[in-house]
């Protein structure tokens, strides 16, 4: 079964119920959200009544809640020593919120080493994740998925070796995994036309069973650009058919696919139309105009 959805909102008044309703609007069967604005620390208390109402709605629509994903905010940077204790505390609180929501996966950007060097960066990430897990103790049911990065600036995690080293350092191996991102893989230098070769390499170094989520994005930039600028599906540098073959890759079946493509004209969510196009497996070069018209 294809699990496909997108990034959706989450606000303090409607919380998971609002996110679930947004996903249903897109005819998605999974979704991903931030528990608050990704660039700040303002977070509201999780209201269990809203969670229960959302669970009921998802059940009525045959949506498997175990496929729903939370994305940790970018302000967490475990590499950066000046921000280290802040980042560990915030990651701990985020894990608590995700546990309270009953969600299984938290996507985390490994971090940027800001000049400390890759090795020190990796050490700090390992230390920080281990500390956050220790803070939660046995109450934790959430798996952290390290996202594969584009290698922008001093980002750690743009190749398999770095991801592997982080995983090796994590004490609680049952709660660590990986989230692939097609835009980031392209920008990091991987040829997505040879995705099966990438999966072979992944399986050899890390193990394919560690993949818990895939972000499906086209890229505005050429392979190896290290830019990380997402584009709508079929409108960027990754061939549409290549993205389709990744989405439908049998080796990754049952793993949620999440779109993080940009809003059209910064105004209109493209996800309903993109999901429909993906289900049709046929590129529509008028899709963005259709989205504009649908929203008028």
CB atoms within 10 A of CB 133: 20
Selection from Zn ion, Fe ion, none that 274 binds (CB < 5 to 8 A by kind) is: none
Residues of this chain, 161-190, that bind Fe ion according to CB under 5 A? 181
Residues of this chain, 138-157, that bind Fe ion according to CB under 5 A? 147
- Our CB check for Zn ion shows the closer of 30 and 148 to be 148
Selection from Zn ion, Fe ion, none that 228 binds (CB < 5 to 8 A by kind) is: Zn ion
One DSSP character per residue, 119-153 reads HHHHHHHHHHHHHHHHHHGGG--PEEEEEPP---T
Please give the Cα distance from 219 to 233 (Å, whole number).
8
Per DSSP, which regions of the chain are E strands?
Answer: 4-7, 30-33, 69-71, 105-108, 143-147, 176-181, 211-216, 218-219, 230-231, 257-259
Q: Find the shortest distance in angstroms from Cβ 219 to Fe ion.
A: 11
The alpha-carbon radius of gyration of the chain (Å, integer) is 18
Q: Find the shortest distance in angstroms from Cβ 181 to Fe ion.
A: 4
Q: Find the shortest distance in angstroms from Cβ 7 to Fe ion.
A: 9
Element spanning 197, H or E: helix 195-205
Give rounded-to-5 percent helix, strand, coil for the chain: 45, 15, 40
Residues of this chain, 225-284, that bind Zn ion according to CB under 5 A? 228
Q: Which residue number is nearest to Fe ion in terms of Cβ? A: 215
Token couple for 285: 């070069």
Q: Which residue number is nearest to Zn ion in terms of Cβ? A: 228
Task: Count interface residues toward Zn ion (CB under 5 A).
Answer: 1
- Contact characters 207-236, Zn ion, x per CB under 5 A: ---------------------x--------
Selection from Fe ion, Zn ion, none that 187 binds (CB < 5 to 8 A by kind) is: none
Token couple for 44: 């509201």
CB atoms within 10 A of CB 119: 12
CB atoms within 10 A of CB 197: 11
Considering only the C-alpha atoms of the chain, give the largest distance between any 2 of them, rounded to a whole number of Å.
Answer: 52
7 lies in the binding site for Fe ion (CB under 5 A):
no
- Our CB check for Zn ion shows the closer of 218 and 228 to be 228
Q: Find the shortest distance in angstroms from Cβ 217 to Zn ion.
A: 7
Selection from Zn ion, Fe ion, none that 215 binds (CB < 5 to 8 A by kind) is: Fe ion
- Contact characters 209-228, Fe ion, x per CB under 5 A: ------x-------------
**Which residues lie near Zn ion (CB under 5 A)?**
228
**Which residues lie near Fe ion (CB under 5 A)?**
147, 181, 215
């Amino acid at each position: 079964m294809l699990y496909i959805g997108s990034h959706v909102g989450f606000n303090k008044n409607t919380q998971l119920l609002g996110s679930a309703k947004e996903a249903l609007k897109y005819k998605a069967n999974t979704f991903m959200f931030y528990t608050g604005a990704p660039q700040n620390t303002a977070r509201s208390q999780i209201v269990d009544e809203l969670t229960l109402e959302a669970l009921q709605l998802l059940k009525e629509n045959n949506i498997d809640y175990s496929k729903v994903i939370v994305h940790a905010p970018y302000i967490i940077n475990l590499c950066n020593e000046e921000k280290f204790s802040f980042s560990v505390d915030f990651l701990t609180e985020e894990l608590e919120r995700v546990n309270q929501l009953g969600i299984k996966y938290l996507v985390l950007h490994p971090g940027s080493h800001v000049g400390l060097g890759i090795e020190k960066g990796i050490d700090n990430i390992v230390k920080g994740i281990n500390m956050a897990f220790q803070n939660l103790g046995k109450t934790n049911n959430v798996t952290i998925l390290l996202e594969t990065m584009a290698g922008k600036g001093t980002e750690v995690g743009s190749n398999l070796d770095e991801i592997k080293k982080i995983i090796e350092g994590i004490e609680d191996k049952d709660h660590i995994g990986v989230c692939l991102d097609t835009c980031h893989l392209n920008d990091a230098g991987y040829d997505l036309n040879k995705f099966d070769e990438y999966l072979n390499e992944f399986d050899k170094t890390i193990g394919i069973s560690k993949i818990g989520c895939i972000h499906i994005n086209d890229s505005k930039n050429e392979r190896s650009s290290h830019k990380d600028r997402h584009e709508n599906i079929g409108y960027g540098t990754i061939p549409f058919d290549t993205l389709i073959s990744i989405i439908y890759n049998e080796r990754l079946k049952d793993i949620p696919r999440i779109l993080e493509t940009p809003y059209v004209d910064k105004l209109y969510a493209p996800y309903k139309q993109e999901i429909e196009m993906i289900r049709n497996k046929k590129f529509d070069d008028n899709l963005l105009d259709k989205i504009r018209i649908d929203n008028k």
